[in-house]
């Protein structure tokens, strides 16, 4: 699935559920960032294979490292987004790094299920995950993940709503 927002549903669900261990904002962001490569390939080099070089565990981990460093250097922005979205969790470089790399791996796995051109164990040119779940079913499952992700977000958002004082 070159450049799709369907990854956000499963990513948000997983990240919000495990927000004590995973930085949800970094985890979701890295799932979008990794798809910049197929977007650019589709726009400028359509003769190349759609997923390019970043959609594997090895090089993807380096992309995750870069995203984690950029996110940590921008942690003030993340603190503001956390407050705006009423997400309560701690921010640290270790957590951001773990979230970015895990997010890349999660994205690679989701793509590998439906795309034969993803080579998760690059430089090995094989995809042992392809066809494990039919792509049509995988897309529906990814889309349905928005429901529990939305529920977790709203549950957390309402729980962390400032208390109103009545006179």
For 94-145, the pLDDT digits (tens) are 999 999 999 999 999 988 988 888 999 998 989 999 988 888 888 888 888 8
In a domain, 163, yes or no: no
Q: How many domains are contained in the chain? A: 1
In a domain, 147, yes or no: yes
In a domain, 103, yes or no: yes
In a domain, 75, yes or no: yes
Check: CB of residue 163 under 8 Å from CB of residue 86: no
pLDDT at 12 over 60: yes
Domain holding 150, by residue range, is: 5-157
Question: What b/e readout covers 133-163, taking b as 16+ CB neighbours within 10 angstroms?
Answer: eeeeebeeebeebbebbeebbeebeeeeeee
For 85-95, the pLDDT digits (tens) are 888 788 899 99
Check: CB of residue 30 under 8 Å from CB of residue 104: yes
In a domain, 167, yes or no: no
In a domain, 68, yes or no: yes
Task: Please name which of 138, 146, 141 lies closest in space to residue 115, comparing C-alpha atoms.
Answer: 138
Task: Please name which of 44, 21, 157, 9 lies closest in space to residue 99, comparing C-alpha atoms.
Answer: 21
In a domain, 61, yes or no: yes
In a domain, 48, yes or no: yes
């Amino acid at each position: 699935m070159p450049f799709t927002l369907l990854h956000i549903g499963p990513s948000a669900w997983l990240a919000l559920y495990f927000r004590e261990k995973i930085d949800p904002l970094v985890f979701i962001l890295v799932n979008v960032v990794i798809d910049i490569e197929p977007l650019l390939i589709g726009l400028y080099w359509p003769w190349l294979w759609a997923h390019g070089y970043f959609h594997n565990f090895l090089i993807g981990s380096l992309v995750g490292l870069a995203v984690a460093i950029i996110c940590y250097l921008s942690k003030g922005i993340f603190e503001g987004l956390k407050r705006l979205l009423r997400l309560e969790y701690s921010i640290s470089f270790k957590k951001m790094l773990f979230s970015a790399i895990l997010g890349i791996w999660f994205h690679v796995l989701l793509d590998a299920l439906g795309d034969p051109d993803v080579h998760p164990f690059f430089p090995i040119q094989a995809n042992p995950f392809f066809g494990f779940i039919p792509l049509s079913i995988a897309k529906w499952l990814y889309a349905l993940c928005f429901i529990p992700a939305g529920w977790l977000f709203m549950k957390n958002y309402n729980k962390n709503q400032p208390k109103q004082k009545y006179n």
